[in-house]
A and B are shown apart, each in its own frame.
Chain A
Amino acid sequence: MPHPADHDPEQSAPPGPDRPRRDADGENPAATRRYLDLIRTTHEEWDRLERAGDSSVQLSGSALAAVKESVRADARHGAHVHMPPTPAGPFTVSELTLRTLVRREIDAIPGARALRTTFEHEEDGAAERRTRGLPTRARCRVSALLGTPDLPGLAERIREAVHRAAETELGLTGLTVDVHIEDLHEH
């Protein structure tokens, strides 16, 4: 199997004034130098502005906190999932939103409790990073109340509720809903 560097145009061609050298570990000393220069220049610019009393280089505490929190929020939200557009334009929902919607529907059914739901999606070649295509299948893992007389009936009610919510809430038709009763709970 060829080494990845073999396919790297920057590596396969001889280094020159316009072509940075990159070693076998993927390091790029020229890029590192440029980055260090950029940081150095930034520091110098900030120092100069601060000395001049220009407050534009300072971020408020809440602005900084918002950035930090947005990183955590991104982790909570998960990837975004394409939905059928509304008449007014496109929209996506986060994986968190999808899971919350399914959980809400399942937990509203007497005797059922949502555990974990995963989705399969259409392939979407145009999707950006961390964006998924339309959901095609939901796999709902649930717990049933101990003593529920008709477990297949319970599964069917769950399937119908999730299917209906996907259509009403999101405009998503044709979603296949698998229900796995993988636990029993007493109350």
Chain B
Amino acid sequence: MSTDPAPTDPATLRTVPAAADPVGALAPPAPRVDVADLVGAVTAVPGVSGLEPGIATALRTLDARLRRSDASSARYGLVVDRDSGEVTVEIGVEGPLPVRRIVEDVQRTVQRAVSGAAAEDTDPRGGTAVGADPDRPAPDVPRVLVRVQSLSTP
């Protein structure tokens, strides 16, 4: 079984135009990646059995849906805080890999996805230009909090 994290090529991830999100437009630099893509990236990480929300993220998702103000930032079990830039991921884990390894793979997968999308936002010609211009700051790497909700035993 491959233990490499899921590929998160920024070119394959959709971004949310800043103008489409009035909340984010007023906030400091924050992840712009579409959460639907993050869900796919996270659940593809080896050892992740699925997103497993608690009541807090479930209600937060519901709130975002009802307000229709920031629908791209919350799914059950995965919430992007546009203000703080923090991403919270709630997962169930399974399989032979150590829990800590799975968690780190999830964190790096999300960070790569968000940073790649942020770079794409910064440079509309494509995300690969980050680092090419020394005067341009590298996109912020978000803080990714992973909450392991359950562990499935074989």
Contacts and interface: CB of A to CB of B under 8 A. Distances in A.
A97 B54 contact: no
A50 to B, nearest CB: 14
B143 A73 contact: no
A66 B100 contact: no
- A interface secondary structure, majority: helix
Contact of A94 (B100, B111, B150): B150
A96 interface: yes
Q: Which of A56, A74, A86, A96 has the most CB of B within 10 A?
A: A86
B54 A77 contact: yes
Interface in A164-181: 168-171
A87 to B, nearest CB: 7
A70 interface: yes
Contacts of B59: 67, 70
A96 B62 contact: no
B58 interface: yes
B55 A91 contact: no
A30 B54 CA distance: 32
Give the dominant DSSP class at B's interface: mixed
B2 interface: no
Contacts of B66: 56
Contacts of A103: 153
A70 B76 CA distance: 9
A71 B57 CA distance: 11
A97 B145 CA distance: 16
Given A66-B53, A73-B53, A96 B150 contact: yes
Contacts of B117: none
Contact of A86 (B55, B57, B62, B103): B103
B104 interface: yes
Interface string A59-74: 1000100110011011
A148 interface: no
Interface string B59-96: 10010011010000000100000000000000001000
20 contacts: A56-B68, A67-B62, A70-B53, A73-B55, A73-B149, A76-B150, A77-B54, A77-B150, A86-B103, A88-B104, A89-B111, A91-B148, A92-B145, A94-B148, A96-B149, A97-B149, A101-B151, A168-B98, A168-B100, A171-B100
Interface of B: 52-55, 57-59, 62, 65-66, 68, 76, 93, 98-100, 103-104, 107-108, 111, 143-151, 153
